[in-house]
Amino acid sequence: MYGNDFSPPDEVSSGALLDQVEAAEAELRAAAARARAQAGDAEPQDHFESVIAADQKIEPRDWMPEDYRRSLVRQIAQHAHSEIIGMQPEGNWITRAPSLKRKAILLAKVQDEAGHGLYLYAAAETLGVDREELVELLLNGRQKYSSIFNYPTLTWADVGAIGWLVDGAAIVNQVPLCRCSYGPYARAMIRVCKEESFHQRQGYEILHTLAHGTPGQRAMAQDAVDRWWYPSLAMFGPPDADSTHSAKSMAWKIKRFSNDDLRQRFVDMCVQQAEALGLRIPDPDLRWNDERQAYDYTQPDYDELMRVIKGDGPCNRQRMEHRRRAHADGAWVREAAAAYAAKRAERAQREEPVAA
């Protein structure tokens, strides 16, 4: 019915509706002007800085420095790639999970990771990049993903260790990102973190079951923790002194805590949980420091981290080959989806005057 209002000869109501559209547009402009006035200055740079200083959110429509935009695109894209590549090490165990219940839980968990990737690609797209472009940067090796996913999953206990330690480290890293200065990233992180906490608990529960099972199962759980502990510590990145992107990210309130602070928080969290599991953290120098009110611990091998980032980890080649193959195999799905969307859009356009 409303469509008829726009078609002649009923020019009176058509005009009335267009007036409303124009009024709404004027209101939007006025609101944007008020926001600029509230910032105390019409200069976009000042507005940006005042939003950051006031701990408010930068939104896609806001002016932002090119460096800030680029830095966010890089970080969010790498995060998205990590979620997608991160499906592989555990996906490896879906067909071999020890029971139907474990299989269903693992399937849901791996599927969650795909969802995280999609929220994050969508958040990156609000910064004016295209998802296809980002996927291409991953496939041609110009953008990275978290080096943790270049380690193999040798036994079922690895699925437990990944949930407990890798998802645990991800939570410690990502909870502060729920308060990051870029609105779409912060909102995506809130949803992601809620799901990550389930992931951590399911990993913990797998390890708890194994640690209280047969001596063989217990040994398998300990072996998995022994192999995943240091790579998990390395997930927090290089030490603060060597971290190239940190200072700017902190000033922009993208990052809220330094790599070393987050790593310490993770260690402190894990010690008690390991005790409750009855498993040992493989660090002979791990001990409580009364003065610092934190645990002293052995740093991971950062040379190894650099080697793995540069492509020389145990599974780098395998992970990328698999991703490229999956991307090629999925080409027909993307083509079909695009053809379907085009057909729907065309039909909607054709039918609009009739429906009106």
Indicate the residue among 116 and 208 with the shorter CB distance to Fe ion.
116
CB of 184 to Fe ion, least distance (A): 17
Is residue 90 involved in binding Fe ion (CB under 5 A)?
A: no
Select the span of 92-100, 150-158, 161-169, 288-296 touching Fe ion (CB under 5 A): 161-169
Indicate the residue among 79 and 208 with the shorter CB distance to Fe ion.
79
Q: Which residue type sits at 232? A: S
Q: Pick out residues in 169-198 that bind Fe ion (CB under 5 A).
A: 196
Indicate the residue among 190 and 339 with the shorter CB distance to Fe ion.
190
Q: Strand 294-296 to strand 287-289: parallel, antiparallel, or no bridges (unpaired)? A: antiparallel
* Token digits of residue 311: 């492509």
Distance of alpha carbon 227 from alpha carbon 152, whole angstroms: 10
Among 47, 81, 102, 199, binds Fe ion (CB under 5 A): 199
* Token digits of residue 313: 């980890």
CB of 68 to Fe ion, least distance (A): 24
CB of 106 to Fe ion, least distance (A): 11
Select the span of 109-117, 127-135, 143-151, 339-347 touching Fe ion (CB under 5 A): 109-117
CB of 61 to Fe ion, least distance (A): 28
Closest by CA position to 199, among listed 235, 166, 147, 163: 163
CB of 75 to Fe ion, least distance (A): 15
Q: Pick out residues in 254-293 that bind Fe ion (CB under 5 A).
A: none
Among 58, 121, 167, 267, binds Fe ion (CB under 5 A): 167
Distance of alpha carbon 316 from alpha carbon 149, whole angstroms: 8
Select the span of 25-33, 116-124, 284-292, 302-310 touching Fe ion (CB under 5 A): 116-124
Indicate the residue among 64 and 166 with the shorter CB distance to Fe ion.
166
Tally of CA atoms within 13 A in the half-sphere of 355 that contains its CB: 6
Distance of alpha carbon 86 from alpha carbon 227, whole angstroms: 17
Task: Name the packing angle between helices 100-125 and 131-139 (round to 10°).
Answer: 110
Distance of alpha carbon 59 from alpha carbon 308, whole angstroms: 35
Closest by CA position to 264, among listed 292, 302, 242, 243: 292
* Token digits of residue 58: 């930068």
261 vs 23, 264, 271, 273, 290, CA distance in Å?
51, 5, 16, 19, 17
CB of 113 to Fe ion, least distance (A): 5
Closest by CA position to 167, among listed 207, 208, 116, 201: 201
Distance of alpha carbon 286 from alpha carbon 296, whole angstroms: 6
Indicate the residue among 114 and 219 with the shorter CB distance to Fe ion.
114
Indicate the residue among 113 and 158 with the shorter CB distance to Fe ion.
113
CB of 13 to Fe ion, least distance (A): 51
Select the span of 5-13, 75-83, 126-134, 241-249 touching Fe ion (CB under 5 A): 75-83
Buried b (16+ CB within 10 A) or exposed e, 45-62: eebbeebbeeeebbeeee
Among 57, 81, 102, 116, binds Fe ion (CB under 5 A): 116
Among 64, 80, 102, 113, binds Fe ion (CB under 5 A): 113
Give the interface with Fe ion as residue ranges (CB under 5 A).
83, 113, 116, 167, 196, 199
